[in-house]
Every structure is written in structure tokens, then in C-alpha cells.
Amino acid sequence: MTATYEADQERVPVALRVAAGYTRQSKKKSDKSEASPQTQDEATKRKARDRGCKFIGHYRDIGISGYDPSAKRKSFERLLNDCRDRKIDEIIVFNVTRFSRREPKDAIPVVLELFSLGVTITSVSEGSFSPDNTMELIMLIMRLEASHQDSKNKSETISGTKRVAKQLGGWTGGALPYGMESYPKPETLVRDGKEVTITIRLLRPVPRRPDGEDQASVVLRMVDRIFEFKDKPWGGKKNAHPASVGAIVAWLNVNGVLTQNGGAWRSPTAKRVLTDPRLAGFAADPVYYKAPDGTQSRTISGYRILRDPDTGEPIPIGEALIPPSRWFELQEWLSGRELGSVSSTRSEYLLTAMGVLKCECGHPLTGSPRIYKCSRAAGVVVPGQHVGGVTINQKELDEYVARCVMAVLMTAEDDPETLEILKEATRRLAKIQERPETRSERNALVGERAEVNASIHRLYDDRQSGVFEGPIGRARFLQEKELLEGRLEMIERRMTEVGGLERPALPIEEWTYTEDPDGDPIGEGSWWAKAKVPDRRTLVGLFVDEVRVSKAAGRGGSNRACKVEDRVSIHMARPQREGAEFTDVA
């Protein structure tokens, strides 16, 4: 494109320089503040016009740091490539900090390349830096150094402030937990012999409204609803249980309750709200899902409770909306460990509510009057699996399973293999009787220990790959190693304090007691005969991992070709893989 002007009565064509604006903002802003993207765009376009350039548009990186060397600035890379292709003569930025806040050693090679291409860098507020002026290059380098140092100082100040705030139980920002609000509180510290007062922010439940429509009241109603229904019998699908997260979401949406963002509730959103430790007054950091390539996403997978490095206790962050003991019990339910557990009563049938009763094809068996039957859809034909349905007499199967359990109890002193089953049953009984808050804390500590151990392994892998070369690198390696090992030591100490499961004595004599004349352990007058379904289910759950039923060889009737004992295989309790849930501490 060309422009013309009058010179000696002749019209002389002049080529306009091509300019592009580069806009960067670490956090998205839509206001008219000085550094907002809209303000930057308007200023760079106006500067191009003032300099007599042809302006071809803006290259924008919004929500991306100019300080973080790992940040990917896709538009900036596209801008550089267009400069290399000789499409752009001048880059216009609002100020040099938009161009880069990185160390000069990282930014200067880019500047030198642009200068070698004949590209001028213009700042709206600081002037132009052209490739043919050495003094302007020196000035630009000085501005880049000042920009980097300013960002570094801010980063260190923010990190230090957040670190102190966390130590004092302060909330350090981010999205407010649903149902909570922040408020300022002055704290006085002694630094270098002088008292210094800083203001931290704590959390507290939002004010309650008479109509009960405030967020804090909504959370409490969600929790109360779970506790109202979680221990009541339920014979339907597990994910439709009135105390399940899915049912809570349906209840919220039917009643027109909106989320923090004003939208409809979804199960991940509701579970994220209910599992947030800050509702119980605990400081916590979010844990994010990781992509297959190892990069961290922005989707929260859970939370990690922050603990005092000396005591290992959760750091208080303000007023609790839910009492800690009730919150820990809630986590047990939400984690699924109580869904279908041996202590629950969600079915009138003994074996269907426990997740142990399976058909030979792998499908669970469901309960119907007098029979258990395979849940595979009728008419479905799968190569290698049974044709038609599979059913088995309910009473006979229940009695067969009960007799197998009683056989274990009555041979406890004679069979080494039976002793292993008893040991696992004892562990399971201890878990049932253990306080939910203790069990939850131990599980959290085991998970955190695994996380720290993995971080230590990654640290050594980085060292082996050369990441920590040189004296500064070695010092940094030792510093991180010391921090991680100190954290691991604290976790191990806390796990010792929490302790392992207190092993209860199995009430074998009570379970095997009978008044039956023939000594039948499940006959008339026995514990089994008097026990209700939930108690029977507890006993079976302690000793049985799976009951597998095969299809009968022939039809039923008085002369059945295949009896229960010929069709059923029972897998007795075996210890779980160590660390699957938690490791006992002796």
C-alpha cells in the first residue's frame, strides 16, 4: 500500500511502514484500567497512526504471564514468525512490560533477532527503539532489566505474603468456597525485633437470610439431606440413592438453586463443594487433574489439607460452616466407602446390597422373591457366556454362604489358612468401628506421603538429567530435597501419632453360639437365626469377598440335577494390596 504527497509540483509515491500491536495481560480484564487489553489495543492502534504506519491489527495473549519462562505465548510466536517473513516492520506495545518481563538473557536474543530483521520496537509510553541506534538498544535492555526486576520483586513479595498468611491461617485468594466469605483481620508479628502489623483474610459462613436461600444455608441443607438418608434402607440403584451426589444435584436443580456462577448444578460441582476442607475451617490447597503428558490442567480433582509443620494438625482458616467431625464423616460417604458397605441396609435381601454376588458371566445378581437372578438384559447373547437367564434359590444360597462362614469360625485354631482369613476379617471390623475422622486423616496422610515420595523421585530424576547443574543448581537441589524430606518426616511422625487400627477381638463365640440340639450354627436358637439382615450382612462382609454362581445344568424341581454347592464358589476374605487404602502403623 502507498501514500502520496506534493513535492516540486510532482506526486511522489511513498511506502508506508507496516505495524502490528502486541497486547498481553496476565489476567483477563474487561474494565478501562491502564493495562486492560482494550486500553492497550486502543493506545497501540493510535500510536501506529501517529507514526504514519499502516496498522494491520493486534496480536493478543490474554491470561498469559510475561514473567513465567514456561508460559506459552502463541500469539507472540506468531508475531515473531510474521516478522521473520518480512510482513511487519514495527511492533507497537503499550509499554515494555507487555513485550517481556523475563530475564534480559532470555529476552535480549529475541530483541537482537528483531533488530537484525530491521524491526523497530515502539512503546506507547517509552518511545521507539530502532535497530540502527546502539544507544536505544542499551536503553531497551535497561528497561527490560527493570521490568524483570519489578516482576521478580512483586513475585517474591506475593509469595512471602501468601506464605505468612497461610502460616497464620489466612485465606490467600482464588475462588471463594461456596457458602463462605472473606473478612480482614490484623495480625501483629515480630520482625527483626520490631512489631509489624499485617492484615490477613479469614473465611466465615456468609450471613444467613430469613428465607434460607443464602449459600451457607444451601450447603447445610445439602449436608443435612445426606445425613438424613444415608443410613436408611434403599433397594434401588446406588447412584439414585437419596443421599447420593446425583440425587442431591437433582434436588438442587428441581428447587431452582443456582451455583456460584448462576448456572445449574452438576455432580462434579456439588462434590467439589462438599469435599472442600475450608467448609470445616481447614486451610487447603486445590489439587488439579493432570493431562496424559503430565501438564497440570485447571480442573480441580480434590483438595489437600494444609497442616502445621510442627504439630501436623490442620491449619485453621477461620470459622467452620460444618463441624470438623461431621465433615470427616461426610467425606466417608462421598468417597463411596460407605455405599454398599457391610454396615448399610439398602436391601431386604442378604447378598444383593454388598457387591459380592456375581453371575458366572460377571454381571451382579439381583434379588427377587425367593430367587437371585443374573442382571444381564434378557435376550442378550454373548459368545462364550451362558444362554438364557441364571437364577438360584435365595434361601438355599444364603444358608450355604452362612455355613461356609461358620465353618471358618469353627476351625479357627486348626488351619493356618483360616488364620489369614480371620486376620483380614479383624482388619475389616476395625475399619467399621473406627472413628470416621481418624480413618479419613490416615487415608489423607497416606495419600500425601505417596505424593511427597513421588516428588522426591522426580527431583532425583531432574538432577540426573542435568537440570541442577552448576553450583546454583546444586544449592537449589539440596534446598528442595531438604524441604521434601522434612515434609515426609512430619507425615511419618503424624502417622505414628494417629496410629494404626486398634484390632478388636472377633466375637467368634457369640457368632457360633446355638441352642440347637444338634449344634447347628445356623439352626433354631442360633445367633444367625436370631440376627437381623443388617447384622448377617456385616458378618458375611467381614469374611467373604465374592460369591460366584454358575448356571444350573438342568431345570429345577424336586429332582434337581445341580445343587447349590455344585453351582457356587465362594472366595473368602483376603488382605488387600498394601497401600490400596492405607498402611497400618505399628
CATH fold, domain 170-339, is Hect, E3 ligase catalytic domain fold (3.90.1750)
* Lowest-confidence segment of 102-111, 201-210, 336-345, 357-366 by average pLDDT: 336-345
Distance CA(463)–CA(482), nearest Å, equals 14
Alpha helices in 132-260 (DSSP H): 134-167, 215-229, 245-254
| Model confidence at 564: pLDDT above 60 | yes
**Higher per-residue pLDDT: 138 or 339:** 138
Q: Which residues contact 390 (CB under 8 A, 6 or more apart)?
A: 359, 360, 361, 365, 373, 374, 549, 550, 551, 552
In the chain, domain spans:
2-157, 170-339, 357-434+504-572, 435-500
Confidence tier at 173 by pLDDT (50, 70, 90): low
Confidence tier at 580 by pLDDT (50, 70, 90): very low
* Burial 348-367, CB ≥16 within 10 A → b, else e: ebbbbbbbbbbbebebbbbb
| Model confidence at 14: pLDDT above 60 | no
**Higher per-residue pLDDT: 366 or 348:** 366
Distance CA(356)–CA(156), nearest Å, equals 55
| Model confidence at 261: pLDDT above 80 | yes
What is the per-residue pLDDT for 464? 84
Q: CB–CB of 191/287 below 8 Å?
A: no
CATH of domain 2-157: 3.40.50.1390
| Residue carrying C-alpha cell 516482576 | 151
DSSP string, 501-533: ---PPP-HHHHH----TT--TTSTTSHHHHS-H
Distance CA(453)–CA(443), nearest Å, equals 15
What is the per-residue pLDDT for 403? 94
pTM attached to this predicted model: 0.48
pLDDT digits (tens, 9 = 90+) for 287-302: 777 766 666 677 788 8
| Model confidence at 568: pLDDT above 90 | yes
**Higher per-residue pLDDT: 49 or 192:** 49
Q: CB–CB of 159/170 below 8 Å?
A: no
* Burial 47-68, CB ≥16 within 10 A → b, else e: bbeebebbbeebbbbeebbbbe
